[in-house]
C-alpha cells in the first residue's frame, strides 16, 4: 500500500461563505485557517495547497471576549526611528474590521509562500455579502464549530 500525496491542481477548490456575526474572533479564525489549508479534507498534503476559498461576511460584527477590545494592541512600524504605532482592537474593529480578521487568520497559517497563497483565498467583507455575490462560484454557506465542539 502506498501513501497518497496530492499534486498541485489535482483537486478542485470549493467556495464557502461564513457569517461572522456574533462569532468569537480567535475560534473563528482557527477554523477558517483550517479550511484554507485543506486540513478538513482526507487528501490533505502539507506541501501542496489543497485548501478551499472562504468568503467572510459581517466582519464588523465579530465578538471579542473579556477586555480584549481595549487591552489588545496591534503594532505597526514604518521603518523610521520612533514610528511604532499601536492601535487597540476597538479602533481596528471600527475602522478596518477586515484587517483585524486578516491578521488573526494570517497568524494561524504557515509563514511560507504557501501560506501567503492560502491567505489570498480569503475574501473578507465588513458588511453583508455584496450585491453581485458569489453565485458563479456556487459558494455554499458554512456553519463553523463552536468552542466546546472543537
* Per-residue pLDDT reduced to its tens digit, 69-89: 999 999 999 999 999 999 999
Domains of the chain plus CATH, in order, are 15-63+97-141 (3.90.1180.10)
Can you name the residues that pair with 77 across neighbouring β-strands?
84
Specify the pTM.
0.90
Give the pLDDT band (50/70/90) at residue 149: low
Residue 4: partners with Cβ closer than 8 Å, 6 or more residues away: 43
What whole-number distance in Å separates Cα of residue 3 and Cα of residue 43? Answer: 11
Amino acid at each position: 500500500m502506498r501513501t497518497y500525496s496530492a499534486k498541485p491542481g489535482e483537486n478542485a477548490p470549493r467556495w464557502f461563505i461564513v457569517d461572522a456575526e456574533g462569532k468569537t474572533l480567535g475560534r473563528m479564525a482557527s477554523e477558517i485557517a483550517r479550511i484554507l489549508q485543506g486540513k478538513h479534507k482526507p487528501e490533505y498534503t502539507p506541501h501542496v495547497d489543497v485548501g478551499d476559498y472562504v468568503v467572510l461576511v459581517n466582519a464588523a460584527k465579530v465578538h471579542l471576549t473579556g477586555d480584549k477590545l481595549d487591552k489588545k494592541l496591534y503594532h505597526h512600524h514604518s521603518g523610521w526611528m520612533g514610528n511604532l504605532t499601536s492601535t487597540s482592537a476597538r479602533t481596528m474593529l471600527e475602522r478596518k474590521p477586515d484587517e483585524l480578521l486578516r491578521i488573526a487568520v494570517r497568524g494561524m497559517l504557515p509563514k511560507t509562500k504557501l501560506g501567503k497563497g492560502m491567505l489570498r483565498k480569503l475574501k473578507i467583507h465588513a458588511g453583508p455579502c455584496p450585491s453581485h455575490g458569489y453565485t458563479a462560484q456556487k459558494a455554499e454557506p458554512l456553519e463553523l464549530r463552536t468552542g466546546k465542539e472543537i
